[in-house]
Amino acid sequence: MGDTQIQTQKNPATILVLNSGSSSLKFGLFKAGRAGAAAGGGAAAGSPDASTDEDDETLLLEGSAQGIGRPDGSLKIQTADGTVLLQEAHLMESQTDALQKLAGALAEHGHTRPSAVGHRVVHGGPHLREHQLLTPEVRQQLQEAVHFAPLHIPPALALIDQAMQIFSDAQHYACFDTAFHRTMPAVASQLALPRRYAEAGVIRYGFHGLSYESLVRQLGNDLPARAVFAHLGNGSSVCALRDRRSVDTSMGLTPTGGIPMATRSGDLDPGVLLYMMRTEHVGADQLETLLNRESGLAGFTGGEGDMQALEKRSAAGDQDAELAIDAFATGVRKYVGAYAALLGGIDLLVFAGGIGEHSAEVRRRVCTGLEFMGLRAEDPAGKVRVMHTEEERQIARHCRALLGQPAQ
């Protein structure tokens, strides 16, 4: 197929969302809500309450390319009611390869060309903190911010470039995971370093913002003043919210910080890195691989970072797996406790993400010891809830709100 554009009829009310991961590409095709027919619509870009009208985005298709770069990779596309349109297994070398296959499949099944394409961008650096139109200037700013997230920004840029070629007649938007956390006060965002570093953008940004925005919108008026959200998956973070806004979160300058994750270390004493540099003479690239690919739960267990697999191993008596699960749940619980102190109490604790939604064992372990605050995992109708995050739909909402607006 190469870079040939997909020739299908264009529908001005259709939004394609691309949500890229380290080895996967999730996507959703949405029919925009009523405001999508007009220029703009909804709240300001970056607002957690953007597009709160009753006629919300309607999912048409969804799916994912999994195992990118592995011989066991797969592509699946299904309709909103679960009808599978395409399911096949093959090697996809990169996210751009997966996007080409996705575009071809959409055309083959007769779906219209989108008028907007929304891209989830994990990190935009210090100057890109609002969801916005992807202009050449914005792309250049992303390129200049690569050193803030060298594992995330380059593949995001490659995917953006490819999507702009395939869907050249659509407007493309960047939606940033860091945007939701702009409301954090200085005491949460500033690091205890000389001021020149903050002036260079070395601050705590926070991530999973699109997930948190989605939860805020879903809860609506049921969201109390003091809440803690735990997005738990391969990447995991915890966020404290006061009056619907982020006031603190566990991830910092990069998505490596906070609680130990599937393959990421989480917070470390900086002296650990100095020790490695002095005794093993490792450089920045080696440290990046160690901290992001070989640590976290995988570090405890000799390489296994999948929570479902670890729970099976733990149940069979594997002590390394038991330690990994305990360290993960304890890390989450400690942040929940800290945020209770920060907020003066917690009225609602929400679990989301693949682990948060599907692992009752992790939820039980996190809540064990928090009963004195009324937080009990077995009481999801009370102060603890389990929710499905809707990152792709939230990106579509922002695209609809931004359609027709001038570049920032």
Same domain as 367, residue 397 = no
What's the token pair of residue 355? 């682990």
Is residue 152 predicted with pLDDT exceeding 90? no
* Same domain (yes/no): 169, 239: no
Give yes or no: residues 251 and 361 share one domain: yes
Same domain, 250 and 342: yes
pLDDT score, position 54: 54
Pairwise CA distance, residues 32 & 397, whole Å: 8
> What is the average pLDDT value for the chain, to the nearest integer?
89
Q: Give the confidence band of 1 by pLDDT, cuts at 50, 70, 90.
A: very low
Query: Hey, what long-range contacts does 168-172 have (CB within 8 A, 24 or more apart)?
Result: 168/5, 169/10, 169/113, 170/16, 170/113, 170/114, 170/115, 170/116, 170/117, 171/115, 171/116, 171/117, 171/133, 171/399, 171/403, 172/116, 172/117, 172/118, 172/119, 172/133, 172/134
> Residues 335-371: pLDDT tens digits?
999 999 999 999 999 999 999 999 999 999 999 999 9
Residue at 37 is within a domain: yes
Please check whether residues 96 and 226 belong to one and the same domain. Answer: no
- Per the structure, the complete domain to which residue 281 belongs is given by 221-377
Place of tokens 């607006």: 405
Please give the positions annotated as active site: 177
Does 185 map to a domain? no
Answer yes or no: do 124 and 269 share one domain.
no
Q: Under DSSP, is residue 357 helix (H, G, I), strand (E, B) or coil? A: helix
In a domain, 170, yes or no: yes
Q: Looking at the 3D structure of the chain, how many domains does it have?
A: 2
Instruction: Determine what percent of the chain is predicted with pLDDT higher than 70.
Output: 90
DSSP conformational letter for 258: S
| Residue 406: predicted pLDDT | 57
* 60 assigned to some structural domain: yes
19 membership: H or E segment, kind and range: strand 14-20
Q: Is residue 194 part of a domain?
A: no
Q: Which of 90-94, 107-111, 169-173 has the lowest mean pLDDT?
A: 107-111
Q: What is the pLDDT of residue 112?
A: 74
Number of H helices, E strands in the chain: 14, 13
Which of the four pLDDT bands, split at 50, 70 and 90, describes residue 150? confident
Q: Is residue 62 part of a domain?
A: yes
- Does 408 reside within a domain? no
Distances (CA, A) of 241 to 115, 225, 247, 323, 370: 34, 8, 6, 30, 18
**Is 203 a member of any domain?**
no
CATH code of the domain covering residue 144:
3.30.420.40
Residues 154, 263 within the same domain: no
The string of DSSP codes covering 40-106 is S-SS-TT-TT---SSS--EEEEEEEEESTTSTT-EEEEEETT--EEEEEE----SHHHHHHHHHHHH
What does the pLDDT read at residue 11? 43
Are 118 and 256 members of one domain?
no
Cα(23)–Cα(204) distance, integer angstroms: 25
Please check the confidence at residue 98 and state whether its pLDDT lies above 90: no
So what's the pLDDT on residue 313?
98
Read off φ and ψ for residue 49, nearest 5 degrees.
-105, 20
User: Are 274 and 127 members of one domain?
Assistant: no
Say what the pTM is: 0.90
Nearest-angstrom CA–CA distance, 79 and 65 = 15
pLDDT over 90 at 225, yes or no: yes
Strands (E), 198-249: 226-231, 237-242, 245-249
- As a whole number of angstroms, the distance between CA 386 and CA 380 comes to 7
Q: Are residues 111 and 161 in the same domain?
A: yes
Give the pLDDT of residue 39: 31
Instruction: Round to whole Å and give the CA distance between 35 and 32.
Output: 8
pLDDT of residue 378: 82
State whether 140 and 228 are in the same domain: no
Residues 160 and 308 in one domain: no
pLDDT of residue 12: 47
Q: Judging by beta carbons within 10 Å of its beta carbon (0-12, 13-18, 19+), is residue 74 exposed, middle or buried?
A: middle
Confidence of residue 405 (pLDDT cuts 50, 70, 90): low
